[in-house]
Amino acid sequence: MPRAKWVVASLTVALLSTTVVVLQRTEGAAPAAATTDDALPSRALGLSGHRRLVRELEQSGEDDPGEVTRPRRIAAGPLRTVSGPLRAARPLRLRIPSLGVDVPFGGEGEEASWDSAGPAPGAAGTAVVTGTGLRLGELRRGRTIEIPRADRRTAVFTVVGVSPGRTSGREDLPGWAQLRVIGGETAVLARLTGHRSSS
């Protein structure tokens, strides 16, 4: 009886060693074999379906199912500096990355609105935008405000002043593209410093 146990133990060790060698060789095989869903390690561990699902989610750009869904960001190109104002174009959204703000203009509840009687954001002059619940008092100089526009450009403004009250406390500069954002009893003045293309 002890001999039978020894034989079973030896066979088990040999089988496990062979399985490990086969798995290592499969993992170290040519890249094409390693990336297929039917590679032995994936099937042996029951991961082929999981890897396929992860790949499909990555390719489709879907969020992880466990995450809270957030507004989808528009794909943007590299930031380019500007030497002057941009052509006028209708603004689409107001984004303040440091505050987590990303709202459409004229959306439901009018979270942000643009004074269309004045210049468009990014064009020469001072564009005026108002909003509710923007927490502008938390904004600091040097932070950015982004305005995606209908011409597929995102105008990027850098904050130069934050003031209590509904005026920015700074003079408008003729020929410059500026943005005044007013929320509650706080006003922010920002200057156009760049733009990026958005798709």
Predicted model pTM: 0.59
Task: Return the closest-CA partner of residue 137 out of 71, 181, 105.
Answer: 181
pLDDT digits (tens, 9 = 90+) for 51-85: 554 455 455 443 443 433 344 444 456 888 887 89
pLDDT digits (tens, 9 = 90+) for 118-144: 999 999 999 999 998 899 999 999 999
The domain limits of the chain are 2-60, 80-197
For the record, the structure tokens of 173 come out as: 């500069």
The CATH number of 80-197, from 3.30.420.40, 3.20.20.150, 1.10.3720.10, 2.40.260.10, is 2.40.260.10
* DSSP string covering 169-186: SS---TTSEEEEEEETTE
Among 87-96, 105-114, 116-125, 147-156, which stretch is predicted with the lowest mean pLDDT? 105-114
Alpha helices in the chain (DSSP H): 2-27, 31-35, 40-45, 48-60
